[in-house]
Amino acid sequence: MRSADLAALNEARRKRRAALLVTDLGDGTSTLVGEGESVPETLHDVVERAFRSGKSGLVEADGRRLFLNVHVPPPRIAVIGAVHISQALARMAGIAGFDLRIIDPRTAFANEDRFEGVDLVADWPEDVLKDAPLDAYTALVAVTHDPKIDDFPIAEALRTGCFYVGALGSRKTHAKRVERLRAVGITDEQIARIDAPIGLDIGAQSPAEIAVAVLGAIIQAFRKRELKN
């Protein structure tokens, strides 16, 4: 690997950006590609599949044997609200390969007794996200039902391009949320990205079933995400 490619790859990792090193096994030349960057038409499909899967491997394209070394930031889930759904989601997320953090300023809910072994922060999202900002490889799940807690991280998730933004609540609740988001400058196009009611429509009833629906929606959004720079 050329030193320039290594430096660029390390910079991409530092900034949580996906990158892929394409090495031609015939002549040994390599090219570093960032997610969403243009590539020759003959490589477009294989590069896109690699970014979506996150898996490195040998491919054949345009009559050449290529090795694609893929580096995708570990996807993570930021959950706003230490509720029953969050308890179930925390148990499932790791199995599916997602890091997960729960944020809730309400210490009656956000405590170690209810979330043993979970990355839990009992503070306001505004303060937590200053030091741990959201990004394109983060899913935002807002489940407190409290606008004072949920609204800021939802708006921030839409501004920063989180690959999934989901919010708990009925259609009536969401309609009120939409008006509040518009009032703080969130566009209708951004608002349309919110998954509300949250999760895949599988008829979920219990907190555990809702957590399954949410995790399914997150996986779907990540694997089918729009590839961006």
pLDDT, one tens digit per residue, over 156-211 is 999 999 999 999 988 999 999 999 999 999 999 999 999 999 999 999 999 999 99
Q: Exposed (0-12), middle (13-18) or buried (19+): which is 189, by Cβ within 10 Å? A: exposed
Shared domain for 32 and 49, answered yes or no, is yes
How far, in Å, CA of 13 to CA of 73, rounded? 7
Alpha carbon 201 to its chain centroid, in Å, reads 20
Choose among 149, 156, 165, 166: nearest CA to 109: 149
Number of domains in the chain: 2
Single pTM value for the model: 0.87
Summarised one tens digit per residue, pLDDT across range 36-85 is: 888 888 888 888 889 988 889 999 887 889 999 999 899 999 999 999 99
Shared domain for 97 and 157, answered yes or no, is yes
Can you tell me the mean pLDDT for 9-30?
87
SS3 (DSSP) at 29: coil
Q: Please enumerate in sequence order all residues whose Cβ is within 8 A of that of 127, keeping only pairs 6 or more positions apart, or say none.
A: none
The mean of the pLDDT values for the chain is 92
Q: Is residue 125 part of a domain?
A: yes
